[in-house]
Amino acid sequence: ERGAGGAPPRAWAAGADAGPPPPRAMIVPPSRLRARPAAGGPPLSAQPRHSAARPAGRLGQRTAGEHGHRLPATMGFLLGRRLAARLAAGRHRHGALGPGCHARRSRSGIARLAAPQGEQEADQGKDDVELARRFPFGLSTRDCPARLEYVPRELVDDHTQIFYAMINDTDRNDFYWHALRSCDLRGKLVLDVGSGSGILAMMAARLGARRVVAVDENADMVRLARRNIAANGLSHVVEVHHGLSTEFSLEERADVLVTETMGTWMTCEGIVQWCEDARRRLLKEDAVVIPARGTQYAVLIESEQLERLFACRRPYRGLDLSAVMELQDTVSNLWTKRVGIKPSDLVYRELGEPFPLMEVDFSATPFSALPAVLETRVPVKAGRVTAVLDFWTCEDAQGRQLSTNPRSRRCEPWAYARDLAWGNGLQLVGEEPPPPQPGAAEDDDPRWHRFPDRDALPGPGPVMDAGDLQLCKCACVYYGNGGFVRYGDQVQFREHSRKELLDPLNHVQASGCTLFVAKGGDGEPWGADEPQVPAPFDVEDDEEVLVVTSFQAEQRGAQHRLCRG
């Protein structure tokens, strides 16, 4: 938050004692940006969250110092002003958001006030996420059926958008049925991690398991799974526990682990971590894991349909609209189920063979062995690389496969269910234009004015690390500041207009500082005078394309970058 107080970089350059060093902060969210405490002033945790000149945040984003807790931004929009204000002020009755939410509010408003500032904000962020996850369906819609009033909105959305389709994916169900049947479960203990509706646990019980222990982190799903199990007369075999498997213990080790914790990206739901923890604490040494292994693939494709959805290169009746291609996203890995694409019906041509990105043995591979960056050289056919398509294939011990490859499900009755439940990753491809000044140093970005040994209008302002200067520039633009001053490994943002920061009368000598002022903003366009439009990535027969894949934290996805030869 932008608070009061702060020592200007002039004092830093002069070697004056400017108080404790500013805390290191991330770019997003704004609560992670800090004002530097003034020399001799109170510690940052004791300073007001907002200066007198700056009003509090918008409705639904009030701070802990005002109302004891903060509502996520979406809640203010969904509830309406009057109800949101009443909830934010803490005047709602116990139970209006459910006991869990009331307990969260109490902890946020009381216990966190005694915690250090950094811990307060970390706890606040967790509370916001948890409160949003438990947001009752009855508060987000009118004429809500009584059966849904207190059910978390997120749970209803997940079932509407994903889980009903998953349960009706008969090929998926058959894969697990045959894999379990081949284990000869008579007299064995089966562990089901991420049980959901309880379907896999009930399969194991029907196939002769002595005991089945199912674990799921969602309390509502545990309640409904128990009802399903009772309705099928299997309560004497199957027990369902609420919590994470990593926080669960068994009095005896299991013979079989079955889990369906794969997502659009094979490892994005944590299957490798769940299996690794279970092998260490919950399974016998010779336990069977279902699925046994899996491989994440990618393939370069050409698709006229994707061109029509995500590009604008063709003129319409002689009207050239290609300038908007400057905004084409060739960085994000899109999930087809979120952008309304049905991969099993997508018309595309593979320009090379699918290539593996990672291979996992769920009975042995530790999470630490998964790659961080991978380079793959791919021979291609002549064509235009429109996108990189991601899919995975899992197998059981007998080699039966479960795959999200769109080619494997064309014309199948369960294809649409798999499109909706899992779908595929899709990253658009383009040949990027050269930078505004090829070979220019990072500090010589032509989109910014740069003034060595200068500062302008020094005073309080948010501070962050200067380790990645480009990220600092992005943060400056995002928060609407006219510029920032860099000193050593820190930058401090200036909350003034570009015009004020460019005025020489406002400049002061500051040895070791560098003042950066944006050339865009204040109503003026950013970027070069000519549109920076990615060109089509056309390739020839027998050409080799280098695909550099960078895996996200916790292996929740990946980003691909294509280079020629």
125 found inside a domain:
no
Q: Domain containing 247: what range?
A: 158-260
Instruction: Give the integer Cα–Cα distance in Å for 425 and 195.
Output: 25
The residue annotated as part of the active site, out of 260, 276, 302, 395, is 260
Chain segment 277-324, per-residue pLDDT in tens: 999 999 999 999 999 999 999 999 999 999 999 999 889 999 999 888
Q: Are residues 221 and 306 in the same domain?
A: no
Report strand pairing: 544-551 vs 558-564.
antiparallel
Q: Which of 240, 260, 280 is the last residue of a domain?
A: 260
Give the alpha-carbon dihedral of 98, 103, 104, 106, to 10 degrees. 130
389 found inside a domain:
yes
pLDDT band at 479 (very low <50, low <70, confident <90, very high): confident
288 found inside a domain:
no
Q: Are residues 315 and 387 in the same domain?
A: yes
Residue 442: CB atoms within 10 A of its CB come to: 9
How many domains would you assign to the chain? Answer: 2
366 found inside a domain:
yes
Q: Are residues 354 and 482 in the same domain?
A: yes
Predicted local distance difference test score (pLDDT) of residue 270: 94
Instruction: Give the integer Cα–Cα distance in Å for 392 and 46.
Output: 51
CA atoms 408, 414, 419, 421: torsion sign: negative
Predicted local distance difference test score (pLDDT) of residue 86: 41
Predicted local distance difference test score (pLDDT) of residue 111: 33
Q: Are residues 489 and 415 in the same domain?
A: yes
**pTM score:** 0.72
104 found inside a domain:
no
- Mean per-residue pLDDT over the chain, rounded: 78
Chain segment 129-165, per-residue pLDDT in tens: 566 667 787 887 778 888 888 888 888 888 888 889 9
pLDDT band at 128 (very low <50, low <70, confident <90, very high): low
Q: Are residues 418 and 317 in the same domain?
A: yes
Predicted local distance difference test score (pLDDT) of residue 133: 65
Coil/strand/helix, residue 145: coil
Q: Say which CATH number the domain at 172 has.
A: 3.40.50.150
Q: Say which CATH number the domain at 339 has.
A: 2.70.160.11
Q: Are residues 311 and 181 in the same domain?
A: no
Chain segment 390-413, per-residue pLDDT in tens: 999 999 999 999 999 999 998 899
Coil/strand/helix, residue 503: coil
Instruction: Give the integer Cα–Cα distance in Å for 229 and 226.
Output: 5
CA atoms 176, 181, 182, 183: torsion sign: positive
22 with 33: CB under 8 angstroms? no
Q: Which of 209, 237, 260 is the last residue of a domain?
A: 260
Q: Are residues 243 and 348 in the same domain?
A: no
Chain segment 162-180, per-residue pLDDT in tens: 889 999 999 999 999 999 9
Predicted local distance difference test score (pLDDT) of residue 115: 40
256 found inside a domain:
yes
Predicted local distance difference test score (pLDDT) of residue 254: 97
Q: Which of 260, 287, 312 is the last residue of a domain?
A: 260
Chain segment 38-85, per-residue pLDDT in tens: 344 333 333 333 333 333 333 333 333 333 333 344 444 444 444 444
User: Of 182, 564, 177, whose CA–CA distance to 397 is shortest?
Assistant: 182
The residue annotated as part of the active site, out of 1, 121, 269, 395, is 269
Q: Are residues 353 and 484 in the same domain?
A: yes
Task: Report, as an integer, the average pLDDT of 481-502.
Answer: 89
Q: Are residues 255 and 166 in the same domain?
A: yes
Task: Report, as an integer, the average pLDDT of 22-43.
Answer: 39
Q: Which of 248-278 are b and which e, b meaning 16 or more Cβ less than 10 Å from the residue's Cβ? A: bebeeebbbbbbbbbbbbbbbbbbbbbbbbb
Question: 318: Cβ–Cβ under 8 A, 6 or more apart, which residues?
Answer: none
249 found inside a domain:
yes
Q: Are residues 321 and 204 in the same domain?
A: no
Q: Are residues 184 and 238 in the same domain?
A: yes
Q: 550 versus 526: which is more confidently predicted?
A: 550
Question: 260 catalytic, yes or no?
Answer: yes
112 found inside a domain:
no
Task: Report, as an integer, the average pLDDT of 427-432.
Answer: 93
Q: Are residues 317 and 226 in the same domain?
A: no
